[in-house]
A and B are shown apart, each in its own frame.
Chain A
Amino acid sequence: MDTFEPVIVAFCCHYCAYTAADMAGTMRYSYPPNVYIIRVPCSGKVDALHIMKAFQKGADGVYVAGCLEGDCHFKTGNIKAAHMVAYLKGLLDEIGIGAERLEMFTMSAGMGERFARIATDFTERIRKLGPNPAKAGSDKTDKVAVG
């Protein structure tokens, strides 16, 4: 298990989390390379489906990072995201993947150091949890273009 390198997808909102991630770079706060950032305009844009697919395609952990409570550039996006994440945690438990593989974080654009710390801590959390038990060979869905 000590050779296990988790793959973590971080959906980051453009205005705060993604900027904080850049800030971490500017400040040279290092964090594990396991975290892959996908930029979204607002954490509220993160679709439950994106998260599920991330896990299905093989993510060992996923987190959504948005602005601080009350600071959302789009008023309520981060709150909606938090609710969605809470709901999805339930589903992940149902599947048996485990709610703790998914998390919601908030930070301001200036918090490069916080971004790095969260990335580090979350990576450690997932490393301890071990690989996603439902890691897919490949996504076997095919959406049929009708209807």
Chain B
Amino acid sequence: MRIDALTGVLLIPAIAAALLAVLPGYRMTARLNIVATTATLICAASLFFRRPPTGPYLLVDDLNATFIVLTTFVGFTTSVFSASYIAHELEIGRLTPPFVRFYHAMYQVLMFAMNLALIANNIGLMWVAIEMATLTTVLMVGIYRTHEALEAAWKYFILGSVGIALALFGTILVYMAARPVIGEGLDAMIWSVLVRRAGDFDPALLNLAFIFLLLGYGTKVGLAPLHAWLPDAHAEGPTPISAVLSGLLLNVALYALLRFKMLLAANAGALAPGPLMITLGLVSLVFAAFMLYRRRDIKRMFAYSSIEHMGIITFAFGMGGPIANFAGLLHMTMHSLTKSAIFFAVGHVAQVKGTQRIADMGGLTETHPTLGWGLILGVVAIAGLPPLGIFMSEFLVVSSTFARSPALAIILVFGLLVGLAGLFLRLNSIAFGEPRGPSAKAQASYVPMFAHLGLVFAAGIYMPPALVAWFQNVAGLLG
């Protein structure tokens, strides 16, 4: 297999992981980490221009190219952020060098797994990759080895592996459905082949398969009521991992779901996946919105906001149609950027305040103006207020939905409003009021955070035609 961008996307993280696992010394490894992610990003970007041919295992089309570039980009910025973050963790002794090494290695493994999941053409391979990603994150969530961390990791692990099982069962069912049509063997698991012949599959089997896949991968997406692992995993793990989880892993799982949705959409007899996704999406949205109110832990709060937004995205894709799909893609991209930016900010906040309890922070805009306003900007963005990107996607989702089925739009709007109120209820006590907690200067690199927010801002005002055409094309693919 010749070395091209595709293999680069996979090989670089793999090699880097191996290196980082053995190399000592925090500074060098952190740099190496950044270098690796940069290289991966470059390879991924080149996929836009040179599209390698579709093989039995790997595939690149417009859909996953978007995801790959997004993933590698956020992976890159997060590695930059994690450099400064981990340095601080070492200083205060929350992490020891061996764990840092382990952390960096795992980081690259995670990158590898996610990229693999995205470019896999074989549904079995995709499954393997996603499970790999899950297990690595399980290990990273538990890295602090506090009671809470272990408990979160354990919860994540148990729920995750049940998800694994369900997804696998779904995959098997898809194969069973494909086999009579395509014939035994490898072909019956190659997505590009499946989607071509999906019309002839046995609908009943497909439906059953989709239900298992929906629950299996939906657990990873964090849709209520399958979400339980998500808040704690975000709250207890290292913040860069929270950023990657919210920003990327959820997307990857959602991507898998989308692939199978397209499969079902191609079959006339199968049940429409839309209603299921809409229901789960709305449930997640409203549920998460209400959960925001009683949060005392800042990271857990934003974890719930991730659930909320995953709900919105799932809803949008469930609605389907050019506008809604476009909005869904846009929302997903914007959410990845924004949420990771928020977690960057939150990481620094937690470090300067020495706690994650919201009650112990206050007047952040007084003590740390840059950080505080950055956080506010992030929350404003995530709350869907203009002029940032999420406003546009929510505008498109709501308006297009209301014209088609008002009742759903009402629920959607209700959820959005409740969520916004919850977010700002907490934000007020964090960013405003009399300063609370230590006000030592934060030694942190704000570059990643503001880079993300800058992109989100730009997208909210102006989207380059190329990107738009791209998204529209993908939206068309999603049908």
The yes or no verdict on A and B being binding partners is no
